[in-house]
Amino acid sequence: MSHQLALITGASSGIGATYAKQLAARGANLILVARDAARLNALAQSLRDEHGVEVNVLAADLTHHADLQKVDREIHENTRITMLVNNAGMTVEGEFIEGDIAQIQTMLTLNITALTQLAHSAAQVFRARRSGTIVNIASVLALVSESANSAYNASKAYVLSLTRNMNRELVDSGVRVQAVLPGLTRTEIFERAGKSINDLPAEMLMEVDDLVSAALSGLDAGELVTIPSVEDISLWQRYDEARIAILPYISLNKPASRYLS
């Protein structure tokens, strides 16, 4: 992977920092993007020292338009970039209706708007080169409506749907696309949302190194959707088959008979 240059958003901690470490161990060069320049620089130096790879830092808050444009330009102008790990994201404390709408809107800006723009740019650039990889970090909550903040779940369902459709558009283009759906993972996202990770059931909490290792293995195997904790892959396959089975019936010229009087 020594010829690879991966741009990773949300790279100062958690899943993003772990992608940086594991990709560097594979020999990839890196561009690390996050708000905290000091943490990025410390991580970058440790990766240079340990793995001898090239690591550059791009400090940016992707909820700010000017910073998002700066990262977007990097994707368009740096012809060496071969991989985007679209990881930056956040959640908010509490339920949707009782939540702070300003915080929810900031979350949607990061989880949807910023991710969409960077995915769009990377897809255009990589398709023109007929080579590249785009990894969008979603969540298992994309499949869940019964818990957590509904706006967060919806934002991750968007990421999953976007990735599926990107894959459809990029078929035979030489560009690989993957959606990663983590479950509960030991990262800082909970504390930032005002929660304690110690309140989570240990049997549901995956270590971030294990998560990223599984995600990269799924990428190596050519998976479009990777759910690291699901042992029986047929569960996901049946879920997806049921989704596909309804498609011929969702748009017809007459209502279903139960609605006819």
Catalytic residue positions, numbered: 152
CA 182, 183, 186, 187 dihedral sign is: positive
